[in-house]
């Protein structure tokens, strides 16, 4: 490698992992630059472009990782996520292991985890893409009327707080909090989740990756906004046509990393029922008393 790019969390103290990254790149005669992100980063290095780097390193949580992936995806560069966040499940490498992870990447001892994106064609505004999710949400008082069509067939019309369209990666984020199902990382599909529908029957819908989703929003006086990967994108929510694009971005993975479902359990995003937990507690107490 000749050059490594870095994206950092905007507010958290990151001196430890940053120093480890600087020491590793300096020790291997590799230039370290800071690449752009959709948010304001503290300056930690000379500016650079993702396309000029062999690797992008994300230091922070899932939001930082998504920002790094959005920067790296158009350039076709892989992203190594270093966990310095409060809950992140995408950043699977602990900060203390940054040097070893970089050694393994340089030696070619890594796996490319390809993740899809949502391509979002807009009738009013430039096209967008999302690696996690796209959300149409109300911006004030009054509900939003939502029409969802799949390959030209009407799925549902409802009024409520909005609608989320998620990749498998994003199914564990906003959509999960709204009651949608989880999709495993290699599911060849994406997800439509209504937000707090006012009556009717509006279940979350798993859509095959080859199908096209059209979302039409009827906005009332309170307004609405479009969010992409958790960031506000626009207040114009004209009709959207959404398709899935496979292998849009690349996450650096290693064979001994725990799977995503295990990370969700470790971070207590998924929690067993109280009876199961009570039984585990009783068995643990019994074992201690033996």
Q: Which residues are catalytic?
A: 62
CB contact at 8 A, 230 and 174: yes
DSSP letter assigned to residue 211: S
Cβ atoms of 8 and 61 within 8 Å: the answer is no
Query: For strand 224-228 and strand 78-83, is the pairing parallel, antiparallel, or unpaired?
Result: unpaired
**At 24, is the secondary structure helix, strand, or coil?**
helix
> Measuring CA to CA, how many Å separate 250 from each of 79, 80, 235, 274?
6, 9, 30, 38
User: b or e along 7-36 (b: 16 or more beta carbons within 10 Å of the residue's beta carbon)?
Assistant: bbbeeeebeebbebbeebbeeeebbbbbbe
Q: 97: which DSSP letter?
A: G
Paired residues of 128 in beta bridges? 120
């Amino acid at each position: 490698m000749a050059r490594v790019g870095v994206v950092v969390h905007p507010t958290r103290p990151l001196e430890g992992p940053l120093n480890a990254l600087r020491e590793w790149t300096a020790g291997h005669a590799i230039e370290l630059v800071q690449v752009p992100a959709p948010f304001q980063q503290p300056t930690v290095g000379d500016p650079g472009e993702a396309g000029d780097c062999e690797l992008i390193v994300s230091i922070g949580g899932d939001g930082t990782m998504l920002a790094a992936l959005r920067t790296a995806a158009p350039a076709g560069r892989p992203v190594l996520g270093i966990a310095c966040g409060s809950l992140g499940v995408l950043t699977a490498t602990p900060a203390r292991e940054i040097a070893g992870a970089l050694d393994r990447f340089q030696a070619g001892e890594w796996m490319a985890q390809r993740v899809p994106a949502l391509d979002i064609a807009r009738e009013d505004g430039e096209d967008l893409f999302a690696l996690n999710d796209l959300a149409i949400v109300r911006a004030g008082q009054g509900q939003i009327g939502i029409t969802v069509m799949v390959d030209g067939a009407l799925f549902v019309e409802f009024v409520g707080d909005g609608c989320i369209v998620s990749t498998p990666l994003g199914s564990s984020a906003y959509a999960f909090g709204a009651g949608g199902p989880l999709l495993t990382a290699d599911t060849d599909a994406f997800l439509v989740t209504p937000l707090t529908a006012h009556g009717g029957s509006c279940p979350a819908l798993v859509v095959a990756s080859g199908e096209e989703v059209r979302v039409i929003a009827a906005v009332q006086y309170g307004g609405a906004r479009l969010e992409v990967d958790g960031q506000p994108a626009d207040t114009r929510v004209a009709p959207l046509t959404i398709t899935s694009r496979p292998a849009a971005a690349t996450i650096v993975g290693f064979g001994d990393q725990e799977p995503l479902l295990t990370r969700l359990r470790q971070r207590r995003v998924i929690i067993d029922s109280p009876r199961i937990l009570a039984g585990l507690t009783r068995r643990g107490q019994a074992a201690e008393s033996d």
